[in-house]
Amino acid sequence: MQYRKDKHGEPLSILGYGCMRFSHKGAGIDIDKTEQEILDAFRAGVNYFDTAYIYPGSEAALGEILARNGIRDRVNIATKLPQYMVGSRAALDKFFNEELSRLRTDRVDYYLMHHLTDIAQWERLKNVGVTDWIAEKKAAGAIRNIGFSYHGNTANFLKILEDYDWDFCQIQYNYLDDTAQAGVAGLKAAAARGIPVVIMEPLRGGKLVNLLPEDAKKAMAQNARGWTPAQWGLRWLYDQPEVTVVLSGMNSLEMVRENVATASDAAVGTFTEPDFALIEEVKRLIRAREKVGCTGCGYCMPCPKGVDIPGNFRSYNVLGTEGRTAAWMQFVQTVGLTREPAFASQCIRCGKCERHCPQGLPIRDKLREADRALRPLPVRAVVWILRKFMFRRTKKF
Ligand code: SF4
Ligand code: SF4
């Protein structure tokens, strides 16, 4: 195993154990099988285990496995505050204490505000006194490092990053999402501030393995490197010095061992020109199935009516490559849940954006198409309810 440093110089294994996808038996977690997988990773040097309040049964299973093997003090636990459920200072303590109890521990090594998508959510938390609360927990040793996990757009990521003295952050990042969400711009901005970055969805939930088009799989299989699609995805990340830990949701010994092997010999700066060319070719083959040829460059922005043009197109493209559920999920997270609405339906067809698009895209027509596909009635209803809930007023602390 190789290690990179956290903000305070402590070593973190570059492979982190994602605890959201533990093996299941019947309706619950298969604790004995999961124990074998966790111990295998632990013996190979994995020291970062990432769970969350809302992953069903995950905190309790991780706590039980670490306790019964006496290894709690030899690993780092990362878990997350369900910030979207917090409306008062009392709720902060309630969730945190419940998490400590489930995890059978007196401290969380890396604690995250879960699933921020907009600076407004962080402001709401500050409004209920979260910064004082964090300071108290850190002083008491109950929280060692504080961070946030993020799914909104790049602009909001940068605002949240700059608004507080974070110890680390967690972003979705992979070779297909290099300009989506926080993106490479967010990754580099965090690193420039000395903030370690934990990567989630390094393989887009397995889609850069299972849902690769056949021609992309063939291009990888024929390459002299002999790497599997998973290895290509992970090695592309490890090649970047700004990446600290890459999470993988492992639920088989084979998966643990393949990922450990990759994390043992991948290194920064080892990708060659032909390696990058292969990744570009695979992206091209994936994007050939996309709905609109938007590269996410952002030259069309800002739109005077607040439309997130690349954000809408990104979700529309996921519809072509990964299907409706993935596209709607992406749309709700990155476009639907920003404080200032950014829907394609806000477009007044002024044409300003089209004058700046290097791809010469018929942006106005494509936005209309995207809006129809991304916002059927059920999605509109879900977004409306979530927005009501997430941007509700809270009493000043
Ligand atoms: S055409 Fe629509 S999307 Fe483009 S700048 Fe005008 S309002 Fe915004
Ligand atoms: S300028 Fe064109 S290619 Fe670039 S983000 Fe806007 S629509 Fe996409």
User: What tens digit of pLDDT does each residue of 232-287 get?
Assistant: 999 999 999 999 999 999 989 999 999 999 999 999 999 999 999 999 999 988 88
Residue 359 has pLDDT above 90, yes or no: no
Ligand 1 centroid distance, CA of 77 (Å): 45
Ligand 2 centroid distance, CA of 356 (Å): 8
Express each pLDDT in 29-49 by its tens digit: 999 999 999 999 999 999 999
Q: Which of 117, 178, 101, 114 is nearest to 146 (CA)?
A: 114
The protein residue with its alpha carbon nearest to ligand 2, atom 7, reads 294
Instruction: Say if ligand 2 is within 6 A of residue 359 CB.
Output: yes
Instruction: Say if ligand 2 is within 6 A of residue 296 CB.
Output: yes
Residue 164 has pLDDT above 60, yes or no: yes
Place of tokens 């088989």: 252
Instruction: Say if ligand 2 is within 6 A of residue 303 CB.
Output: no
Ligand 2 centroid distance, CA of 210 (Å): 28
Task: Write out the two tokens for 225.
Answer: 């490197």
Express each pLDDT in 37-85 by its tens digit: 999 999 999 999 999 999 989 999 999 999 999 999 999 999 999 998 8
What's the CA gap between 107 and 11, in Å, rounded?
A: 18
Instruction: Say if ligand 2 is within 6 A of residue 298 CB.
Output: yes
Q: Which atom of ligand 2 is nearest to the CA of 297?
A: 4
Q: Which of 313, 305, 302, 327 is nearest to 362 (CA)?
A: 313
Q: pTM (2 decimals)?
A: 0.80
Pairing of strands 3-5, 11-13: antiparallel
Q: Which atom of ligand 1 is nearest to the CA of 344?
A: 3
Q: Minimum-distance ligand to the CA of 345?
A: 1
Which H helix or E strand runs over 258? helix 253-265
What's the CA gap between 248 and 14, in Å, rounded?
A: 11
Q: What is the structure's pLDDT at 127?
A: 93
Express each pLDDT in 227-246 by its tens digit: 999 999 999 999 999 999 99
Q: What is the structure's pLDDT at 286?
A: 86
Ligand 2 centroid distance, CA of 355 (Å): 10
Residue 207 has pLDDT above 80, yes or no: no
User: 333 Cβ partners below 8 Å, 6+ apart?
Assistant: 117, 151, 152
Residue 397 has pLDDT above 60, yes or no: no
Decide: 293 and 359 in contact? Cβ < 8 Å.
Answer: yes
The protein residue with its alpha carbon nearest to ligand 1, atom 4, reads 353
Ligand 2 centroid distance, CA of 160 (Å): 25
Q: What is the DSSP string of 78-103?
A: EEEE-GGG--SHHHHHHHHHHHHHHH
What is the greatest pairwise CA distance in the chain?
A: 64
The protein residue with its alpha carbon nearest to ligand 1, atom 2, reads 347
Band of the pLDDT at 396, cuts 50, 70, 90?
A: low
- Average the pLDDT over 116-141 and give the result: 95
Q: Which residues line ligand 1 (CB under 6 A)?
A: 303-305, 307, 309, 347-353, 363-364, 367
Express each pLDDT in 342-355 by its tens digit: 999 999 999 999 98
Band of the pLDDT at 210, cuts 50, 70, 90?
A: confident
Ligand 2 centroid distance, CA of 178 (Å): 15
Residue 120 has pLDDT above 60, yes or no: yes
Best probe residue, ligand 1, of 307, 335, 371 (max atoms within 8 Å of C-beta): 307
Residue 392 has pLDDT above 80, yes or no: no
- For the chain, helix (H) and strand (E) counts, in that order, are 16, 12
Tell me which amino acid residue 322 is: E
Beta pairing partners, 112: 80, 147
Task: Write out the two tokens for 175.
Answer: 């070779």
Q: What is the structure's pLDDT at 394?
A: 58
Q: What is the structure's pLDDT at 214?
A: 86
Q: Which of 54, 47, 56, 61 is nearest to 79 (CA)?
A: 54
